[in-house]
Amino acid sequence: MIEENKEINQISNQDKNYVNIVEGEEEANLGENITIHTMPRRYKATEVTSQKNSAKGTGFIILLVGFIFLVFAFFVIYFSFIKKGPQFDVSPEINETNQSNDQSQTDNQKQDKEEQKTDLDDLEVDNVSSDDAVEKYLNDISSSDDKDPASSTKTIEDINSSFVDPIDSDRDGLSDYEELIFTSSPHSEDTDSDTYPDKDEVMNLYDPISGGKLIYNVNIEKYLNKEFAFSFYVSKLWTVEAISGNESLIVDIGRGQFIQIISDENNDFDSFDEMYMDYLCINEIDPSLRITNGEWQGIKSDTGLNVYLEHPVTKNVIVFNYVIGDDNTLYYKNIFDLMIKSLEVISE
């Protein structure tokens, strides 16, 4: 029995000597018949790194897909609800009502256009020359002024103590005669339906028809005078004539009315205010009558029909006079104001 145990121990020790597990090889021998498969250390490290890189790549792809989805969803929401406004299902009855209202609105617009055409045909632009009114006005000035009446800044202010308001069918502040010049509707205070009243657009030098710049209106152009060193807007339907050696301009607006524009050197006075008070024989200037138009500074009469300005560069006195004649009707007062509003200095 003791001999058998010794023999077994010897066999076990021999078997242990045969065990030779070498890391880095794919298999090792355990005794004669036992084979143990082992994983090389280098292969294990590569496998772990690959798994980590694979996980990172998968995460990045998921984030990228998520971001693209969010961007797509944002644009869908923006164009569907924000830009176009929410869309609602409309019942057939409401649709029929809307269609009826649209048709009614279209019919009303057609009717307005027909009425406008009829009214404008009745108005028409008065192309009758205002020569007689101009001559009378200049003669009246010459009787009270030693200077050349055409070039003198002396004006006859407030000849008429009361004025007649022109026709204003839509009560938007623009006379129907001015609407005719702008080709806007005398029956709508907002011809182009842009929420801005026609008069507000005109007085800010915007076209009441298109909403663009007023200079692009079919009947408006810029008049440039290098002698005066400034430009201004005027209707293409009116005529502008230089008189007295180009020191005075006469804008014939028809209906026996005209606008006179004068440029006179201010050599006799130390300041613009001094000149103004001397010409009008006054001792002080009402602050409420002072006007500022960009770089232009000036003073207007109580009626607003006579405006005195100091040229920002030449320091000449520039005078705008709206002469309404015997009619007393202010057909084009707003256009007179926008002519001054549009003043720009140009190089001589």
Q: What are the start-end ranges of the H helices in the chain? A: 2-18, 41-77, 92-123, 131-142, 176-182, 198-203, 272-280, 333-341
Residue 7 banded pLDDT, cuts 50, 70, 90: low
Q: CA quadruple 16, 22, 23, 27: dihedral positive or negative?
A: negative
Residues 6+ apart with CB under 8 A from 147: 154
Strands 257-264 and 248-254: antiparallel
Residue 134 banded pLDDT, cuts 50, 70, 90: low
Tokens representing 197 are 């009243």
Query: How many CA atoms are closer than 13 Å to the CA of 254, on its beta-carbon side?
Result: 16
Report, as an integer, the average pLDDT of 238-259: 90
pLDDT tens digits, 159-210: 555 899 999 999 999 999 999 999 999 999 999 999 999 999 999 999 999 9
pLDDT of residue 266: 86
pLDDT of residue 247: 79
Q: What are the start-end ranges of the H helices in 143-232? A: 176-182, 198-203
Cβ-contact 334, 178 below 8 angstroms:
yes
Q: Is residue 257's pLDDT more than 90?
A: yes
- Average pLDDT, whole number, for the chain? 75
pLDDT of residue 27: 46
Residues 6+ apart with CB under 8 A from 151: 244, 245, 247, 248, 262, 264
Q: What is the DSSP string of 298-311?
A: EEE-SSSSEEEEE-
Q: What are the start-end ranges of the H helices in 78-222? A: 92-123, 131-142, 176-182, 198-203
pLDDT of residue 67: 82
**pTM of the predicted model, to two decimals?**
0.60
Report, as an integer, the average pLDDT of 198-224: 96
Least confident of 105-109, 226-230, 274-278: 105-109
- Residue 99: strand, helix, or coil: helix
How far CA 86 is from CA of 71, 78, 81, 82, 98, in Å, comes to: 20, 10, 5, 7, 17
pLDDT tens digits, 48-90: 455 555 666 677 788 888 888 887 877 767 655 544 333 333 3
Strands 220-225 and 230-235: antiparallel
> With b meaning 16 or more CB within 10 Å and e meaning fewer, what string describes 249-280?
bbbbbbbbbbbbbbbbebeeeeebeebbbebb
More confident residue, 327 or 150: 327
Distance CA 268, CA 275 (A): 8
Domain boundaries along the sequence of the chain: 2-37, 131-345
* Cα angle 245, 340, 253; round to 5: 65
Residues 6+ apart with CB under 8 A from 280: 157
- Residue 346: strand, helix, or coil: coil
